Chains A and B, each alone.
Chain A
Amino acid sequence: MYNQIVKLIIIGFVVGLATVTIGFANGGGFTVEELKEGGQQYINTAVAPSDQSFVPTAPTGKVADKDMTLVKETSKDSSQVEVYSFKEGEGEQKVK
């Protein structure tokens, strides 16, 4: 009787330890934050997408040039610009 109680305690300890270990190894979920360009103003429902509308689409399989340089105007009168260089797969890097 005493041995059975000891066995049950050991089994319970092993099962509990395994549960804790699995719980630690799997980190639950990500914490999520959303950053929307222009706050909430960029919600354009006035024009419904049509055959001639640009759309977000699944990857096209086409590759970009290795280095793309683009200009972003940071003022409405175009007096201030920022120049970005893009490398395929590496995202943007501000260069000026």
Chain B
Amino acid sequence: MKKDFTRLIASILFYSFLGLGLFALVNCGGGGGGGGGSAPTTGSLTINNGSQAQVAGVYISPTSTSSWGPNQLSNPIASGGSATIGSLPPNRYDARAIHLGVYSFYYAYLMNFPISAGSTYTGTIIDSSFTGTIRIINNSSWATLIAIYISPASASSWGANQLSSSIAHGTYRDIVDIPAGSYSVKGVWQDGGTTISDGIVVASMTRKDLTGNY
């Protein structure tokens, strides 16, 4: 009688542990880390817009690639708002934000930042994050501007011509994506004459209009 009772208790304990084990196995998805799912394979980027400007678009691509790809935002990020872009495979990335202003559009960059699986990288945009624009206005009544050179004040050479095509008289051209700083600007007219200005200060979210009279 006592033996039967002991056997009964042992059976109950055995099947109870067996049941508990099966329950735990099913709920852990086959032995994961207790989180209820498999380990994350992607990370995300959160962008805080601490500027007073609306961010209309954000482009993200791996640092090693040569193009930005499509806009990642479905809605603009208002001043003081934020947006998270997820499903980014672990890698190093570049990001570009764009603000559509009244006078021009301006870019802000976050370059070569890391994304790791299961984590979120946070980047902040402030007012001074954005580039500026130079507008070249050809106010001549007859002459075409055939070349424009924009060189940092500290540079010793003019660098490359910024125009892909000439600026006819009575028209203008915007040269965007210029980092804040002091520049020298040289315009070359169709007859070889030049117009030069030094100390042109470009600020974030600012368009500088340069009018050439010739």
User: Which B residues are CB-close (under 8 A) to A3?
Assistant: none
Out of B59, B102, B208, name the residue touching A33 (CB < 8 Å).
B208
| B212 at interface by CB-CB < 8 Å | yes
B187-210: CB near A (< 8 Å → 1, else 0) gives: 101011111110010011111111
Judged by DSSP, the binding face of B is strand
User: Which A residues are CB-close (under 8 A) to B102?
Assistant: 37
| B119 at interface by CB-CB < 8 Å | no
Cβ contact within 8 Å between B191 and A44: no
Question: Between A and B, how many residue pairs show CB distances below 8 Å?
Answer: 186
| A29 at interface by CB-CB < 8 Å | yes
| B108 at interface by CB-CB < 8 Å | yes
User: Which A residues are CB-close (under 8 A) to B124?
Assistant: 47, 50, 52-54
Look across to chain B and name the residue whose beta carbon is closest to the beta carbon of A84. B100
Q: A26-B193, A55-B109 are in contact. List 18 more A-B contacts (CB 8 A).
A: A25-B191, A25-B193, A30-B200, A33-B209, A37-B99, A37-B106, A41-B52, A42-B52, A42-B53, A42-B204, A54-B129, A56-B108, A59-B177, A65-B70, A68-B70, A70-B98, A70-B100, A84-B105
User: Which A residues are CB-close (under 8 A) to B68?
Assistant: 62-65
**How far is it, in angstroms, between the C-alpha of A55 and the C-alpha of B95 when the chains are bound?**
10
Out of B53, B54, B131, name the residue touching A56 (CB < 8 Å).
B131
User: Which B residues are CB-close (under 8 A) to A60?
Assistant: 94, 96, 109, 111
Look across to chain A and name the residue whose beta carbon is closest to the beta carbon of B210. A30
| B67 at interface by CB-CB < 8 Å | yes
Cβ contact within 8 Å between B185 and A30: yes
| B168 at interface by CB-CB < 8 Å | no
Cβ contact within 8 Å between B179 and A35: no
Look across to chain A and name the residue whose beta carbon is closest to the beta carbon of B69. A65
Look across to chain B and name the residue whose beta carbon is closest to the beta carbon of A52. B123
**How far is it, in angstroms, between the C-alpha of A28 and the C-alpha of B194 when the chains are bound?**
8
| B126 at interface by CB-CB < 8 Å | yes
Out of A25, A38, A47, name the residue touching B50 (CB < 8 Å).
A47
Out of A25, A41, A62, A78, name the residue touching B61 (CB < 8 Å).
A62
| A57 at interface by CB-CB < 8 Å | yes
Cβ contact within 8 Å between B71 and A42: no
